[in-house]
Structure 1
């Protein structure tokens, strides 16, 4: 089948898709850290509604969680992480139609087009995940079957059911 539309297997398109995966991972770990450190005993629907207000605003998430992050992560990665906000989440649908010539071309090569930038953000994501895991370790334990059954019987908020 022939098409005049964009080719979704071009290197630029593949980079955009990889970037979006990286960005979604970054948003997820930042939101999880915000929920962990700043939840103020919110649970269920209240917690979900509260965290959803951050949307895709990585800068806002970083500002909220920054006081809880190790200084070495902030110092080394914050600038690269914040550049993600300059690239919209909808990029995955329209990168091939964007004209990066002119003012956007330089930004492309500073971000999605840069192996170094992508690698730095992947490193940052890995370190943030490790940091989250370290904070969750004290809460990890083996759950007995009776406790598990009791937990399963508790009412809980399920957004999509």
Structure 2
């Protein structure tokens, strides 16, 4: 079993926690973390590259992440997560559109499930997927965070920094 290396830093939406492999590939990322991990080895320096790109994102200087990713998932989940990375900054798509993009328009529900299991939120932008009727649907960080991220990406930076999303 590979050693878990993690670190944390502050963002405009709360404490972020990132897990990386020994070579620096990102395996998990949470924003608005309520507590820090208990296991693994903490090394904030090992995630400095993650912090840099996330800081650039929130400063409005980055629209695409270039971090090496190594999330654990099924082949279908990985296919969905790869397609999420192709949704441009500031745009949204529906679960049906995402299912069509992965080659199975009838798999919107399965795509939604894979989207919900995305372990690298924000960087693999699952927040950019919305309901077919334009409504916001589930987000691990909570719908207020999802809405705030979408508003931020649409050019409403006055929403940052947040004081509370609860």
- Report if TM-score (shorter chain) is over 0.5: no
Higher strand share: 2
Higher helix share: 1
Higher RCO (CA-CA < 8 Å; seq separation 6+):
1
User: Could you tell me the TM-score, scaled by structure 2's length?
Assistant: 0.29
User: Could you tell me the TM-score, scaled by structure 1's length?
Assistant: 0.30
Structure whose alpha-carbon radius of gyration is higher: 1
